[in-house]
């Protein structure tokens, strides 16, 4: 509740013009381009009984094939994926977004069945909210298409093969 009051107070203090001026002054921290987050690369730890498997691709509707090819080409150009010849292959899934565009996903259920879970459980939501409620200031950082900005460690990339390419992020 305190956070809501703070937001309302800030809104009352700053006019739209003032807020626009502040955002303009610090525009260099905002970007619409994808980049890599400066974090440790993501790794995939698998069980000893894990063996590579190339799953058959799912059917992509003819109406979406050009869009899938366009997105794969774009991801290659952005160095987010790379051509590969991995022993693994996971099918691509096309998911319709609310705005009518298509999100490419990869069905990693087989790989997930062999992964070793991290031993870092999430905190209880109520405890997190209590801690946030004590804060004087709250900020939010958001990565544009954040999923594509977390680097993948070299040794884990072969797990992410989708039949054409491996993820670099």
The CATH code of the domain that includes 123 is 3.10.10.10
Region 105-125: mean pLDDT is 90
Number of domains in the chain: 1
The predicted pLDDT at position 11 comes to: 62
pLDDT at 46 over 50: yes
Cα-atom radius of gyration of the chain, to the nearest Å?
21
- Assigned domain for 138 exists: no
118 is in which domain, residue-wise?
33-131+143-167
Q: In this structure, is the dihedral angle defined by the CA atoms of residues 124, 129, 132 and 133, taken in order, positive or negative?
A: negative
pTM metric for this prediction: 0.69
Contact between 138 and 3 (Cβ < 8 Å): yes
- Assigned domain for 19 exists: no
**Chain position carrying tokens 């090819």:** 69
The predicted pLDDT at position 152 comes to: 87
pLDDT at 1 over 50: no
**Chain position carrying tokens 């994926």:** 81
- What residues contact residue 153 under an 8 Å CB cut-off, 6+ apart? 41, 42, 43
Output helix, strand, coil percentages for the chain, rounded to the nearest 5. Answer: 40, 15, 45
- Assigned domain for 4 exists: no
> Between these two residues, 155 and 100, which has the higher pLDDT value?
155
Supply 23's token pair: 């955002």
- Assigned domain for 68 exists: yes
């Amino acid at each position: 509740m305190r956070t809501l009051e703070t937001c309302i107070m800030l809104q009352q203090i700053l006019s739209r013009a003032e807020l626009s001026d502040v955002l303009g002054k610090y525009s260099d921290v905002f970007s619409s381009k994808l980049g890599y987050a400066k974090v440790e690369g993501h790794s995939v730890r698998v069980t000893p009984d894990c063996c590579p498997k190339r799953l058959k691709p799912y059917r992509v509707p003819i109406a979406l094939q050009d869009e899938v090819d366009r997105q794969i080409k774009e991801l290659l150009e952005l160095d987010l994926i790379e051509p590969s010849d991995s022993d693994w292959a996971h099918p691509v899934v096309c998911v319709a977004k609310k705005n009518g565009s298509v999100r490419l996903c990869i069905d990693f259920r087989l790989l997930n069945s062999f992964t070793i879970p991290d031993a870092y459980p999430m905190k209880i939501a109520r405890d997190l909210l209590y801690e946030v409620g004590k804060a004087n200031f709250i900020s939010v950082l958001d990565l544009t298409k954040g999923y594509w900005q977390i680097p993948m460690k070299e040794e884990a990339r072969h797990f992410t093969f989708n039949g054409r390419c491996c993820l670099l992020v």
